[in-house]
Structure 1
Amino acid sequence: MADFSIFHWLIVLFIFALIFSAGKGLEAAVFRRKGPGSMVCTACGTRGFPQTKTRGSLGIEIVLWLCLVVPGIIYSLWRLTTRYDACPACQQPGMIPVESPRGKKLLSEDA
């Protein structure tokens, strides 16, 4: 069996990171959906489910991976760690559950 170079180990590490982050996102999506519009946006008052947004650019990530492995890994890890749930209407973070005291207050103000 051939020895793995550092390049091979970095690729394996990146693949595991992608699988772990995708599984984490799927798990959150399954447990998050409780009922119709179970979250409310504190910025615009939209009722619905948050969307996961990733900062940065996929194009820049691909270019960095094609140029050098280390900058590609650093940028990919940064993108994976800066994901956030955002309102589907205004793209702002900070959606809260409808059942919370502040969520109930926001819904009563809109009604």
Structure 2
Amino acid sequence: MGDSIAEVRGMSQPIRKQKPRPRKNVVGGVDFSKDYICLTCGCQRQPINVRRGHIAIEVLLYLFYIVPGVMYTLWRSVRRHDVCPKCRTPSIVKTTSPQAFQLRRLMSTLSQPKNKPAGEA
């Protein structure tokens, strides 16, 4: 019975202080600590890189004429662009861009509670 109550319950070790979690840069439900944001749907994932044009048109041009098919293939390979992985629109921007700062300002004004005048219920 030489054990104290604190040792029996496992409290002999000192309580460790947890490191404070870094505050997320969240405004109006949008996390601005991420790298990208879609201005259309609000998705915050990495953009995907897609080709413009259609593969069916490319195949059709190769079947009928070789030269336009090659030109269309070159045009498609040069005209790649980043799109949102969720809604497939090219309106995805970095969170450090001016459009994202505008969105942040808009979200911060919309997320603030409105103060009612004293006379209204």
TM class, shorter-length: 0.5 to 0.7
> What CA deviation, in whole Å up to 9, does each residue of 1:32-83 have, x standing for no partner?
xxxx841001122111111112122213212322332201111112212322
Contact 1:52 1:84 in 2 (8 A): yes
Give the partner amino acid of 2:60: V
Q: Which runs of 5+ in 2 are unaligned?
A: 1-32, 112-121
Please provide the CA RMSD for this pair: 2.5
Contact 1:86 1:94 in 2 (8 A): yes
Q: State the TM-score, normalized to the length of structure 1.
A: 0.54
1:61 aligns with 2:70: no
**Cross-structure match for 2:78:** 81
Give distance in 2, aligned partners of 1:60 and 1:81: 16
**Percentage of identical aligned residues:** 34
Structure number with larger C-alpha Rg: 2
Distance 1:73 1:42, change over 3 A: same
**Cross-structure match for 1:90:** 87
Give the partner amino acid of 1:65: Y
Q: Which runs of 5+ in 1 are unaligned?
A: 1-35
| 4+ residue runs over 6 A deviation | none
Give distance in 1, aligned partners of 2:78 and 2:98: 29
Give distance in 1, aligned partners of 2:98 and 2:62: 46
Contact 1:45 1:106 in 2 (8 A): no
Bigger helix fraction: 1
Give distance in 1, aligned partners of 2:56 and 2:97: 39
- After the TM superposition, which residues 1-111 of structure 1 pair with which residues of structure 2 at under 5 Å, given as runs? 37-106=34-103, 109=107
Aligned residues: 76
Give distance in 2, aligned partners of 1:100 and 1:60: 35
